[in-house]
Structure 1
């Protein structure tokens, strides 16, 4: 693309970003406003205009996925030589290069998990720990290091920010733990991920020759998600820059959701003051979401301004009108999960791809109910934040097969067809397996590789199997996984940076949103920003829901989130049913079936050692009673009945239904003769 073509593809504000090629630039970019488009076009325009050389540009972001997406976009814009990496990936690359010069030999091994060493350090200083305590202490050690807090200053630092010390420990005990943890690492000749940034920054600060080498290589910097930088990351960025100001930062204070881990929007909000003459550009045209979604997002985040915080960016929707935001209240968590699975099923039946649907929640512990409900409904899903895609054994085995197949692939055969032929040996088939579980998960992963081959061929028709393998190797190094076809289940934190056609925000009750752990105004404000992030993940369909009680039949002691009470429709204006329909309440025959199914469910649960709703959800039970199916085919059509339920207890359910119907018919006939 020519320089003019690059600019022609942008709106006025994005064009202002792209043409601001020199000096400090601050881009305040709201959700869905095309910030990645703006900064990648800026880099590409700078190269096309002869202002930048590709190898002199370093673009830094926070996730491997975002870095991979940025590289893909830059290649498409003719700027493939630009380095786009996470802070850790860029730092690790440089540390590996400089370590032999400064220390000698290879760098120390990096800890994948620090739990074992934290536990050992805790024992040395007399802190009693279990698995949960070790995790909390590890997080605290990470917070201290990325906040540039040393052991001697820890007690003063936590007091200054009113930070709660994990496990009720004394701050001095945590300070001793910090010292012991460093000693354990030294004894074992290992470093952790935070050390990568700290050691490199220290090298560059102490060795002018090394700093000059880096600064000679990288002359222009772009930092995405700048509201999430930690003091340690900013310190490293300062070493990269030296006294230069060739820096473009992009962020949104309203999307700061990692303060607990050391992130701070301070560097973004004070950028103009810290960099004299900085150009500030605001991106507020929202191209992602409908006016209905954008309107709700603006109303939710505007409360931060009313509470005395900084004025948030007010988004302006650019898409046509879409469906109204839906609000739903359910009796209990199982009802909510079953209803959301059913709603996802209806969207899929209407043409929405499963991978374009997400169910988001505040804590990972909430995922189990949704996994069960989706499985019962026969709907595929993926839990974001689980095992990494390229770490899966079936994916690794497939990559081995593809490497071998690349050497013998028929050059006259289209690359995607060759990939399909090779993956047949890994048990990929053109159609998915009928059952759920491990077999379907393996097929989903392999089919994601097939889809990626199709995408690569569409963009590069001459691509070979070897090219495809090279793409997979690069993605594996960056943990840039392809899309797996299934409904996404994710925490609100894990959803940051992603988007879907349809989003269900579940569990919107007080104690979950905001979490009961948010015990300060600052923490509550961050929870509000987290809700804002969740809302802005939706392109078109958005539903917010909550349940009055946790368990079926439990006390309805929950209340709606304080963030949503002013926005929740009145009972007469609710746009989604406020509780699952009790379809059988007025039909005595159906009520008889429901009563029999309840007894059967209790007995099944007793025999298998699970709670009754794991056997059959209440919503599915009442739908069966209302329909009165006589065959497995009819049962499969009932809402909430999935393949797993059909195979495991389908015949048993049909027998209960038949017995109940026969019993009711007998009583009815007997009653008629008496009359």
Structure 2
């Protein structure tokens, strides 16, 4: 029986490690899943470990299912059939199984109910706090994953808002206990409390699971770490697999120190590095290695390419985000015509807010696509509401759109009134029925008739405003129609920004001499053609791309301020790890792009190219970083500043990000950082 077939030397070494702690530091594309599965099968089939004494913890159900299927197949191929099985599950599934057996230690019954996210929101709203529900739930989740009780939080609050949140946390937890409910975080938090208060239970479990494996260890948080310490209190047979260079979830509680300090937590631990990469070309790995080596918080490894050479990583600059997507769309069309499947192509972005520009570009180019992890822009409720108003401006007989927004925002025209209206119309168009004033009033009443009359007058007013100017139309719309009034306060800002994006897009199309009806028709056609997206370009944030791979990857928005995204409390090392993840999603070709002006969240931003492009040795850190084409922003060049207007460069000093330019704006001389100027 040979469980080592197809493994390289380091992978085989990891598989054959039996007793004692093991850190398997697995680089991107290094075959870590194959290694983990082979080790699991090896322990059972070659060493003779009882499968029931093996616990393997993952972060997703998909990962645990895949590991279970592949390990079973590997054992079956070796002719091994065991009456027992290892426990392969997520951390939270383990917590659920644990609580079913031990929650009585907290004086509670094991017939508890697990709440979903909406249930938790309803409970929090019942406490009528002025703080946003989402903020409170996020804080409670953070406290539980940091193993902090409401009492402990209350003893250490630093301001009045934190105290208010802590009081809600206390009331919320009391409510759950009284009603024998648990939320998602309780699955681990309560399990931790039970093991902390009952060391004998932790010891019993540790003896039961004498071999423990953990996947994606770099993503563990303080609570998961403490549970693992309990589970290994009687032995050190813990094998963790992860990549410190792909630790990108610090914002949701993951603690990179868990993997960085593993050999300190387990002094006799062995560390094996998987550095042979079977995914990407040498050209892609060269830039990924160059970028990530700039981090100081890492154990250190260099990905070694096992594939043949391919194309150099391409970096492109464009004047605007629209031009960026036009160019990328042309490249995708060319790739598709040459035989590449759309499903082998991905577009990645740092911020979900960039998805709108990507979506618009692919729509214009009629390229099938799917948005992963976010609702397609034109399918968002508030966007569909505005589009319904626009459709009515073109066609008052569009009853589908009329019924969607007649009472949105609320005008007192509820479901009962709507049913009377449809019954009275009896198959006629609502507009036609409305024009028969006497019949319509008898059917729906004077008040509702007046509401309907005012609604049609509003549509006419919007059309008149648009005929005058787009600015007048937008002002009229926002003043007369409060679309966001029906949404929770916590959601309003995000939805407001979405509407701002929609109006900006509409303005751009109308300014390009496109009729409103043509704009709406294009949206309708695209939505119909996009229903079948099995063979489509994948569009997603870099965070969601982790664990995936594509032959061709386009990473947009490579500008300082967008990628890396740096604000208050920003972590440049985690941003750099995100860049590393983005680069290593590509198998054959990697394309990176930045623009001189990006329209985002309703305003234009002019930012310099991402520092990552220099750190990965893709751009030279020289004056050329502030050029358009091959021209250098030197003396005599004409430039534009968003406040001071057009001027002429008199002198340029320094280089790279520190380059300063002395400019004459109509005789007024100013010294300005080059990154704030646009070359004309």
For normalisation by structure 1, the TM-score amounts to 0.63
SS in 1 for 2:355: helix
CA 1:518 to 1:225, structure 2 compared with 1: closer, same or farther past 3 Å? farther
* Cα separation, 2, equivalents of 1:573 and 1:509: 16
Q: By percentage of residues, which structure has more strand?
A: 2
Cα deviation digits, residues 291-316 of structure 1 (max 9, x gap): 111100111111113xxx44532111
CA 1:182 to 1:104, structure 2 compared with 1: closer, same or farther past 3 Å? closer
SS in 1 for 2:589: strand
SS in 2 for 1:32: coil
Spell out the pairing of 1:507-586 with structure 2 (5 A cutoff): 507-517=557-567, 519-520=569-570, 523-551=571-599, 557-566=606-615, 567-569=617-619
Q: Name the structure 1 match of 2:249.
A: 258
Quote how far apart the aligned CAs of 1:110 are: 1.9
Q: Is the 8 A contact 1:142 1:261 kept in 2?
A: no
CA 1:186 to 1:311, structure 2 compared with 1: closer, same or farther past 3 Å? closer
CA 1:505 to 1:440, structure 2 compared with 1: closer, same or farther past 3 Å? closer
Cα deviation digits, residues 61-81 of structure 1 (max 9, x gap): 212332233223223312794
Q: Name the structure 1 match of 2:399.
A: none
Number of residues of Structure 1 aligned to a counterpart in Structure 2:
469
* Cα separation, 1, equivalents of 2:190 and 2:289: 42
CA 1:8 to 1:301, structure 2 compared with 1: closer, same or farther past 3 Å? same
Larger radius of gyration: 2
Pick from 536, 544, 550: which aligns with 1:494? Answer: 544
* Cα separation, 2, equivalents of 1:277 and 1:294: 32
Spell out the pairing of 1:395-414 with structure 2 (5 A cutoff): none
Q: Name the structure 2 match of 1:221.
A: 212
Q: Name the structure 1 match of 2:402.
A: none
Given the alignment of the two structures, is residue 437 of structure 1 paired with residue 527 of structure 2, yes or no? yes
Quote how far apart the aligned CAs of 1:151 are: 3.9
Quote how far apart the aligned CAs of 1:232 are: 0.7
Q: Is the 8 A contact 2:614 2:621 kept in 1?
A: no
Quote how far apart the aligned CAs of 1:437 are: 3.1
Q: Name the structure 2 match of 1:142.
A: 141
Quote how far apart the aligned CAs of 1:556 are: 6.4
* Cα separation, 1, equivalents of 2:88 and 2:586: 27
* Cα separation, 1, equivalents of 2:611 and 2:155: 33
Given the alignment of the two structures, is residue 366 of structure 1 paired with residue 366 of structure 2, yes or no? no
Q: Name the structure 2 match of 1:10.
A: 7
Structure 2 portions without partners, runs of 5+: 377-523, 630-680
Spell out the pairing of 1:14-413 with structure 2 (5 A cutoff): 14-78=11-75, 81-99=85-103, 103-113=108-118, 114-121=120-127, 123-124=128-129, 127-129=130-132, 134-154=133-153, 170-186=161-177, 189-207=180-198, 210-211=201-202, 214-215=205-206, 217-305=208-296, 309-386=297-374
Q: Is the 8 A contact 1:300 1:528 kept in 2?
A: yes
CA RMSD of aligned residues (A): 3.3
Cα deviation digits, residues 556-606 of structure 1 (max 9, x gap): 6222122223534369999xx988xxxxxxxxxxxxxxxxxxxxxxxxxxx
Quote how far apart the aligned CAs of 1:7 are: 1.0
Q: Is the 8 A contact 2:244 2:299 kept in 1?
A: no
* Cα separation, 1, equivalents of 2:354 and 2:305: 32
* Cα separation, 2, equivalents of 1:493 and 1:525: 15
Cα deviation digits, residues 181-230 of structure 1 (max 9, x gap): 32444465432111011122333444466546644543211101111111
* Cα separation, 2, equivalents of 1:554 and 1:268: 41
SS in 1 for 2:185: helix
* Cα separation, 2, equivalents of 1:437 and 1:83: 44
Cα deviation digits, residues 234-266 of structure 1 (max 9, x gap): 122233333211110011211111112111122
Quote how far apart the aligned CAs of 1:12 are: 0.5
Cα deviation digits, residues 287-341 of structure 1 (max 9, x gap): 1111111100111111113xxx445321111111011101111222222223223
* Cα separation, 2, equivalents of 1:100 and 1:150: 19
SS in 2 for 1:371: helix
CA 1:157 to 1:253, structure 2 compared with 1: closer, same or farther past 3 Å? farther
* Cα separation, 2, equivalents of 1:256 and 1:562: 20
Q: Name the structure 2 match of 1:414.
A: none
Q: Is the 8 A contact 2:109 2:180 kept in 1?
A: no
Q: Is the 8 A contact 1:91 1:197 kept in 2?
A: yes
SS in 2 for 1:303: coil
Deviates more, 1:64-73 or 1:95-104: 95-104
Quote how far apart the aligned CAs of 1:269 are: 1.7
Q: Is the 8 A contact 1:111 1:190 kept in 2?
A: no
Quote how far apart the aligned CAs of 1:10 are: 0.5
SS in 2 for 1:366: helix
Spell out the pairing of 1:603-614 with structure 2 (5 A cutoff): none
* Cα separation, 1, equivalents of 2:315 and 2:343: 22
CA 1:15 to 1:192, structure 2 compared with 1: closer, same or farther past 3 Å? same
* Cα separation, 2, equivalents of 1:353 and 1:155: 56
Spell out the pairing of 1:659-674 with structure 2 (5 A cutoff): none
For normalisation by structure 2, the TM-score amounts to 0.63
CA 1:189 to 1:348, structure 2 compared with 1: closer, same or farther past 3 Å? farther
SS in 1 for 2:614: coil
SS in 1 for 2:18: coil
* Cα separation, 2, equivalents of 1:268 and 1:571: 33
SS in 2 for 1:493: helix
SS in 1 for 2:594: strand
CA 1:194 to 1:318, structure 2 compared with 1: closer, same or farther past 3 Å? same
Q: Is the 8 A contact 1:301 1:312 kept in 2?
A: no
Quote how far apart the aligned CAs of 1:435 are: 6.6
